[in-house]
Amino acid sequence: MGWEHHFGTVWSGTLGALDAMQYLFDVWNKVAHRLKSAEHVLLFFDFDGTLTPIVDRPESTVLPAETRKLLRTLAKNRHYTVGIVSGRALADLKDKVDVDGIIYAGNHGLEIEGFGSNFLEPVAEEMRPFLQMLGQALSATLRGIKGVFVEDKGLTISVHYRSVDDTEERKVRDAFARVTDPLHVTGRIKVTQGKKVYEIRPPVDWDKGKAVAWLIANCRQARGKGGAVPLYLGDDLTDEDGFKVIEKTGGVSVFVGEGNFPSVARYFLKSPEEVTELLGML
């Protein structure tokens, strides 16, 4: 009973709050009116699977030129503040997005750059050497399995298995659990799961939701826009924390994917292509 049990509880919690999501473009007039009449709008996006389609290897992801152009236009518009909140390392995320004048939150918000100042979660920073060793141990343990890829993201570790043969996925899971369970049950690390990826994080009470709440509070204060309306778009389990915060703060939460997925988001769009379309409409 290790991280899988923990993961199971996350799922049932999500399912418990399940309400049918509305297709955003069906109710666009209503939402657009709300955004237009707000004194300011905070646009937060996840990156992989939200702004870009998911690909086999995370390093080959490319942000479509059209999407980048629209993000640049929005970044210059005084009605909006744009932020990208991703599981990627901050430097990697900035490199992939390449848009000036926006907020970047890397490693699920453990490292944030924007408002002319930086945030770095101190416990996570302290654990950097430990995680590096753990990443090396995982690489050694998983070496025999074809297609598995251990990514050292500095403050977190990702184990990608999208390219692993279906019949070998169990092997990845078992080997991963063998290394991480003892550390997980003693509270030395946190383990989460995304789309064909296991993630190891430092044991701090911080996730995309906490990062988004922090960003909303900071934006409202720094820009003197107490009534700013936040939007959050995401496609994966880790984004559910973001949706919950958005729902609590009276914002607009948009799940990217098929609308029958159990998400706490209020609205959905079907694909990153539709997200690009939305950027154009904004």
Please tell me the distance from the alpha carbon of residue 185 to that of residue 223, in angstroms, as a whole number. 42
In the chain, DSSP finds a helix count (H) and a strand count (E) of: 10, 13
Interface positions, 48-107, toward Mg ion (CB under 5 A): 48-49
Nearer to Mg ion, 92 or 235 (CB): 235
How far lies 169's CA from each of 12, 120, 146, in Å? 23, 34, 10
Contact 61, 168 (CB under 8 A): no
Interface positions, 139-198, toward Mg ion (CB under 5 A): none
Interface positions, 229-248, toward Mg ion (CB under 5 A): 235-236
Q: Is 46 a catalytic residue?
A: yes
161 alpha-carbon distance from chain centroid: 18
Contacts of 141 (CB under 8 A, 6+ apart): 175, 178, 179
Residue 4: CB minimum distance to Mg ion, A: 21
Contacting range for Mg ion; rule: CB under 5 A; set: 41-49, 99-107, 122-130, 225-233:
41-49
User: Please, what is the end-to-end C-alpha distance for the chain in angstroms?
Assistant: 46
Residue 239: CB minimum distance to Mg ion, A: 6
Residue nearest Mg ion (C-beta atom): 49
Residue 46 near Mg ion by CB under 5 A? yes
Residue 136: CB minimum distance to Mg ion, A: 26
Residue 238: CB minimum distance to Mg ion, A: 7
Segment holding 17, helix H or strand E: none
Out of 26, 46, 98, 166, the active site residue is: 46
Catalytic residues: 46
Residues near Mg ion (CB under 5 A): 46, 48-49, 235-236
